Structure 1
Amino acid sequence: MMIRVQNAPFDFGQECNAFAQAQGNIGAIVSFCGIVRNNDTGTLHRMEIEHYPGMTERALDKIAQQARARWSLSDCMIIHRYGTLAPEELIMMVATASAHRASAFAAADFLMDYLKSRAPFWKKEITEQGAEWVAAKDSDEDALSRW
C-alpha cells in the first residue's frame, strides 16, 4: 500500500505502470486521476491546498486499510498533492488492484468519495475576484453516505 502526499507533480502514466508492474497474478487494476478544473466563470488563477503533515498520511492510510479489508484488495495507492496548483494540473490519483474488477472499481470509488469529503486537505481558490476557501458540497456528503 502506498500513500504519498507531495508538493511535486507526478506522471499519471508512469505511476499507473509502476503500480501495475508491482502486482502479481491479479485480475483488475482501476485508476483515477483528479485534475484541477477551472471554475464556472473561467477565472481560476490557482488553487492552494494545505494539510497537516503526519495527520494527513495517517488519515489516508486508515481509509486505504479499510478499503483493502472491505474489498479484499491486493494493493492500493493514493497520491495527493498540496501547495499551489494551476488549472489543468494533476491534483491526485488512486489505484486499486484486486482479483476481480467489481472490487477494484468499488474500492476506487470509495477512496475517491472519502478523499472528496473527509481527507484533511483545505483548498483555497484564487480568482480574479479574490481568494475563497472551498466549502464542502452536499453532493459529496451524499456520495459518502452510500458506504
Structure 2
Amino acid sequence: MLSAYYATIASHTAREGVRLLSDYMARHRVRLRDALDRLDPSDAARLSETPLRYQPKAADCTCFEKVHLPEGATASDVLDAAITFDDCLILLYRQVLAQEIAPEASELFESLLRSEQRDQMELKKIKAMDYF
C-alpha cells in the first residue's frame, strides 16, 4: 500500500527530484518486503523469537527520534529525513550484528545492512543531483 502511494506520486509529478525520490521510496519498501518474504517460514518463526537488544551507544543518544518533517516539508526535507532514517537503520543493524545472535539472524541483518547501505548511496546520489 505504501509503495503504491509513492509510485502514484512518482507517476504524477512533473518535478524530476520528486519523481526520483518517490520512485526510490516505492522500490525501497518493495525490496524490504520481498527480502522478508523470501525467508523460509520456519526460519522466520525462529528469527521472530530471537532476543535482540537495541541500546544506543550513549544514554543521551537518540536516532529515530531525530527524524522529523515540518509541516509543509519540501522534497529536499523528505530526502534529508530519509537519509537520516537510513543512518539510523544502519546503526541499528550494526548494533544487532555486534551481539551474540543465531547465525540465521546474523545473515538476515547482514543482508539488511548491505541493502540499507546501497539505498543510502542512492539517496545521496539523488541529493547530489540537486533537483530540489
Larger radius of gyration: 2
Higher relative contact order (CA 8 A, sep 6+): 1
In proportion to residue count, which structure has more strand?
1
In proportion to residue count, which structure has more helix?
2
Give TM-score, length-normalised by structure 1.
0.33
Give TM-score, length-normalised by structure 2.
0.36
